[in-house]
Amino acid sequence: MADGLPILEILKFLLNVGYLVSSCVVLIISSVVIHRNAEVHLERFIDYFKGFERVDAVRELFGNETEDVLDNLKVEFGSRRGYMGVSDDDGHLFVSVPYLKEGDERDIYLDVIHELVHVKQFRNGIRLRDNRYRYANRPTEIEAYAYAVKEARRLGMSDKEIYEYLWMDNMSEDDVKALADAVNVKP
């Protein structure tokens, strides 16, 4: 390297001073070291979402394993706009902090129910995002929304309110109608 120490010399120095461990993955370009072993920070579900172990819809999903599943479920909070989701890698929950702070409380509650269905699907080895289907027609989404709709009805929501709940920013009117029809909600 013309502009500084050779890469090997930099690595040796950093290893010797304890700055790097041998298992650390780094990228070195032009005497700059970039650590590439950053990890996603996960929180415990039960530290942020309390009482879901007592919800009949959740107990119906997980049965006698409810407490164990929720105790071990992790949540990744992110700053990106959006809603919630479940990781295809390990089944942890993604939650948009802006949505958590600004979203309708009932929608957030129903979304947690919806996402817990995806957690169960993941635990059962079901692929969550099958791109052969549009979002509103995916079997995994229909099952998850069916649970959320059942819980919405238990809460006393009207079909009109449930239909509005089903509507997401990235869905066309035809998609919402198809989803509503699949989960027996009349607009």
Is residue 21 assigned to a domain? yes
The total number of structural domains in the chain stands at 2
Closest by CA position to 43, among listed 87, 74, 70: 74
Same domain, 89 and 142: yes
**To 10 degrees, the CA torsion angle through 107, 109, 110, 112?**
120
Q: What is the percent of the chain with per-residue pLDDT over 90, rounded to a whole number? A: 68
156 Ramachandran zone, left/alpha/beta (phi>0; psi -120 to 50): left
Per-residue pLDDT averaged across 143-156, rounded? 97
Phi, psi (degrees; rounded to nearest 5) at 22: -65, -20
State the CB neighbour count (10 A cutoff) for residue 31. 12
Residue 130 lies in a domain: yes
* Residues 59, 140 within the same domain: yes
Q: What is the pTM of this model?
A: 0.81
Token pair, residue 49, equals 């979402």
Higher pLDDT, 107 or 39: 107
Is residue 187 one of the residues assigned to a domain? no
Q: Does the pLDDT at position 20 exceed 80?
A: no
User: Does residue 71 share a domain with residue 13?
Assistant: no
pLDDT tens per residue, range 109-137: 999 999 999 999 999 999 988 888 888 88
Domain that holds residue 74: 43-182
